[in-house]
């Protein structure tokens, strides 16, 4: 079967250029994923954390283990909120030379994604076997950012924290 595409239709598909693709620099027809980016501070996980921090909701949110939100937090991330808060505090207390993440801005001077969400993403990947794409959908943090933080977080905990937290029984 032969498909015939008119020049007008082909121009609409390729942005008016033979060879198609994403366009050249300075072109206003270039494809962009900017409209698909989600603000991480508007995701459900961030709102859940804010509810827990502000003491809103039934039983003061996810900080209380026996509250509905606390049980849901433990179910989703496989650790109680107090353990999660200790992990975030531990990472924030690292000396500047040992930090493997940025809290101020990225290399392009855009605001950095919240450390709290990166830790939640790592816990969801470890505890529920989510893939990086699933976490990106849930948080709006790019796959590349989640992947890099995940591997650096695991290397840090395997090297530094694991020997402090786990030991052989006598």
Q: How far is CA 153 from the centre of its chain?
A: 13
What's the pLDDT tens digit per position in 118-132? 999 999 999 999 999
Cα gap 28→33, rounded to integer Å: 13
Structural domain that includes position 119:
39-165
For residues 59 and 131, membership in a common domain is answered with yes
For residues 8 and 70, membership in a common domain is answered with no
Residue 113 lies in a domain: yes
Q: Which of 50, 70, 74, 44 is CA-nearest to residue 59?
A: 70
For residues 47 and 120, membership in a common domain is answered with yes
**DSSP per residue over 21-61, as a string?**
SS--TT-TT----GGG---GGGSHHHHHHHHHHHT-SGGGG
pLDDT band at 60 (very low <50, low <70, confident <90, very high): low
CA within 13 Å, CB half, 126 = 15
For residues 151 and 74, membership in a common domain is answered with yes
Residue 88 lies in a domain: yes
Q: Residue written as tokens 């402090």? A: 164
pLDDT band at 10 (very low <50, low <70, confident <90, very high): very low
- 105: which DSSP letter? B
For residues 155 and 92, membership in a common domain is answered with yes
For residues 20 and 103, membership in a common domain is answered with no
For residues 13 and 75, membership in a common domain is answered with no
What's the pLDDT tens digit per position in 65-118? 888 888 888 899 999 998 999 999 999 999 888 888 878 877 778 888 899 999
Residue 170 lies in a domain: no
Model pTM above 0.85:
no
43 versus 57: the higher-pLDDT residue is: 43
For residue 19, what pLDDT is reported?
46
């Amino acid at each position: 079967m032969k498909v015939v595409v008119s020049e007008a239709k082909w121009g609409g598909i390729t942005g008016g250029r033979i060879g198609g693709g994403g366009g050249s620099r300075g072109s206003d027809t270039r494809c962009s994923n900017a409209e698909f980016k989600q603000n991480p501070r508007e995701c459900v996980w961030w709102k859940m954390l804010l509810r827990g921090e502000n003491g809103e909701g039934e039983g003061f949110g996810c900080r209380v283990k026996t509250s509905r939100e606390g049980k849901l937090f433990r179910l989703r991330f496989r650790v109680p909120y107090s353990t999660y808060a200790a992990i975030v505090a531990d990472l924030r207390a690292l000396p500047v030379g040992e930090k493997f993440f940025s809290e101020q801005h990225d290399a392009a001077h855009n605001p950095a994604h919240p450390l709290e969400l990166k830790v939640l993403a790592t816990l969801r990947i470890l505890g529920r076997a989510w893939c990086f794409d699933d976490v990106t959908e849930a948080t709006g943090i790019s796959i590349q950012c989640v992947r890099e933080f995940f591997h650096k977080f695991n290397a840090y905990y395997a090297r530094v924290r694991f020997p402090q937290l786990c030991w052989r029984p006598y």
